[in-house]
Structure 1
Amino acid sequence: MTDYDAVVLAGGAARRLGGADKPGLSVGGRTLLDRVLGACADAGDTVVVGPRRPTARPVRWAREQPPGGGPLAALAAGLKGTEAALTLVLSADLPFLRADTVRALLAALADAGEGTDGVLLADPDGRDQPLVAAYRGEALRRELALLAAEHGSLAGLPLRLLTAELALGRLPHPTASFDCDTWEDVATARARIRDDGGVLEEWINAAKAELGIELDVDTAALLDLARDAAHGVARPAAPLTTFLVGYAAALRGGGEEAVAAATREAVALARRWADEAADGGKAAAEGPHAPEESE
C-alpha cells in the first residue's frame, strides 16, 4: 500500500441545502464525513478542513483563512498538516467512495511516474473530479504558492486555476464521485444505500463503525453458518449461533483467525446436527456400536 496523507474539505456554506451541515448529514446510518473518512482510514495523517465535528476516528483539524475562502484556501490550510509525498484530496460529501477506489487512485499515480502530478476521478460523463483525487504534495504546494503570489490571496479562486497547471491522469468510476449538493442528491444516496444489491455490506460497515470494530468479517461464511443453523436446527438458532461465535472469538483474543476458527467449529456442529435429523435416528440404531448377532 502506497503511503499517503489525506486532506478532506468539509467547509462550505451548503446553500443548495439551505445551509445545513452537509458533512454531518446521515446516509446509511453514518455521516457523510465519516463515510469519507472510512474510505481513507489507512492514511498516515488525515486533516479535515472545516468546523470541528464529532468523527468516528481521530483526525487533525484545520481552517481556511478566511473561513469560507473556497477550495484553494482550504486545500492550502490542509496541506500544512501533511508530509507524505502523495496527498489524497477529497470533499466530505461522497457517500459511495470506497477504500478500493482510494487505493486505485493512489496506485495509478504511483505507476504514472514523476511526470504526472495527480490522478483525478472521472465521472460517467467524463467530467474531472479534482476533489476526488490523488496528488503529489510537492506539486500542489508549488502551484498554490504561485497562485497566491499572483493573486495576492487564494480566497475565492476557482479550483480550475490549480488543476490547469498540473499534469493530470484520469481514472473513470461510475459512482464514487457522486456528491450530495441538494436534498434530492441526499435522498438518492439514501435510497441507493438500501438497494438489495449492497444493503448487507452497507449495514455491516455501519455496524462496525458504530461499534468501533476494524475486523474484516467473512460475511459469506457467517451467512452460510446462519443458513445451516436455521435450516438444520431451528430458525431462531441462526442469530443466536452467530452471537455465540462472536462471543467465543472474543474470549479467544479476537481477530480474524479467532472468528474464522469459531465459525468453522459451529458450521461443523450445525452440519452434524442436520445430518442426524436427516437420518431420523437410523444411524443411531444401526451404527457401528449396535450389538452383533450371535451365530
Structure 2
Amino acid sequence: MDFDAMVLAGGKSSRLGGVPKAQLRYGGATLLQRALAATRGAGRVVVVGPDPGTLPDGTLTAREDPSFAGPAAAIAAGLLALGHSQSLSPNHSAWVLVMACDMPLAAAAVPVLLQELSAHPESEGALSISSDGRKQPLLGIYRVSALQREVQAVSEEGGLANAAVFRLLARLDLLAVPVPEGSTDDVDTWDDAAALGVDGDLP
C-alpha cells in the first residue's frame, strides 16, 4: 500500500520540564530518528516541529500555526507540507501515516496497520489499540481525503488550535487495530522515560 507519513514533533514537553522529546535517546538513536525509521516505505515524509538540522535528505518540515497549537493543528500543517491542500495529483498517496515522535517502539505497529487497511480498503483509516484497550490516534494511517474534510470542518467549527485530535477524527469510519504490546507506549513524563529505558541525556 502506498502512503505518505507525518511525524509530529512540535510539543512543549511540559511534563519533561521543556526537554524536547524528539531528542531523547533510545537504543542509540533519538526518538525522532526512531520515528522516522518507523515510516520506512512511505513515499514522502514530513516532520511537523522544529528542524533539528539532522533530518535525512528529502524529509520535509512544517510547523503548526501557531506553534504549540496541538496535534490537530500539526496534522493540518503536515497535510499542507505534503501537498495535500487540494485534490490529489497522480503523485500523491491516498493514505498518510500519522505518528507522534515519542513512541520508541512504534515501528512494530505500522505493518499491522497497513495489513489491516489492505484487507479493508473501503475504510477511512486505521488507528492503533494498545494491549490494554486504549485508542492511540497518533499512531494511525488515515485516508487523506477524509482528513482534509475533517480539517476543513474543524477549522470552520472553532479552529484547529488546541482542538482535541479525537474531535478531528470523530466522524471518520476507522478500523480499531490491536497492535503489538508496547508499540503505543509513549514518553509523557520522566517516569515514562525510565520505564521504557529512554535516556534523558540529549545527544
TM-score (norm 1): 0.61
For residues 105 and 128 of structure 2, what CA distance do their matches in structure 1 show? 13
Correspondence for 2:27: 28
Residue pair 2:109, 2:128 contacting (<8 A) in 1 also: no
Deviation at 1:27, TM superposition (A): 1.1
Counterpart amino acid of residue 95 in structure 2: L
1:91 aligns with 2:100: yes
CA gap of 1:20–1:165, structure 2 versus 1, over 3 A, is same
Contact 1:180 1:186 in 2 (8 A): yes
Q: Secondary structure at the match of 2:197?
A: helix
For the Cα contact (< 8 Å) 1:27–1:186, is it kept in 2?
Answer: no
Q: Residue in 2 aligned with 1:260?
A: none
Q: Residues 174-204 of structure 1, C-alpha deviation per residue, up to 9 Å, x if partnerless?
A: 111010111111122227xxxxxxxxxxxxx
- Is 2:115 aligned against 1:107? yes
Paired amino acid for 1:111? A
Q: What code does the residue aligned with 1:176 have?
A: S
Higher helix residue share = 1
- Structure scoring higher RCO (CA < 8 A, sep ≥ 6) equals 2
Instruction: Look up the match of 1:156.
Output: 162
The alignment covers a number of residue pairs equal to 187
Which amino acid is the alignment partner of residue 129 of structure 1? Q
Q: 1:126 to 1:36 in 2, by over 3 A?
A: same
Q: Is the 8 A contact 1:33 1:55 kept in 2?
A: no
Aligned pairs for 1:123-162 (under 5 A) are: 123-151=130-158, 153-162=159-168
Write 1 or 2 for the structure with the bigger share of strand: 2
Distance 1:55 1:188, change over 3 A: farther
1:42 aligns with 2:49: no
Which structure would you say has the larger Rg? 1
Report if aligned partners of 2:4, 2:44 keep a CA contact under 8 Å in 1.
yes
**Which one-letter code corresponds to 1:30 in the other structure?**
A
Q: Could you list the runs of 4 or more consecutive aligned residues of structure 1 that deviate by over 2 angstroms after TM superposition?
A: 54-58
Gaps of 5+ in 2: 83-91, 199-203
**Any gaps of 5 or more consecutive residues in structure 1?**
192-295
Q: CA deviation at 1:56?
A: 5.5
| Whole-angstrom distance in 1 between the partners of 2:56 and 2:40 | 8
Distance 1:55 1:109 in 2: 32
Whether 1:183 aligns to 2:183 is: no
Identity %: 43
- 1:126 is displaced (CA, Å) by 0.7
Calculate the TM-score normalised by the size of structure 2: 0.88
Task: State the alpha-carbon separation in 1 of the partners of residues 152 and 125 from structure 2.
Answer: 17
For the residue of structure 1 that corresponds to 2:131, the secondary structure is coil
Q: Deviation string for 1:122-160 (max 9, x for gaps)?
A: 012211100000110110001110110121x21011111
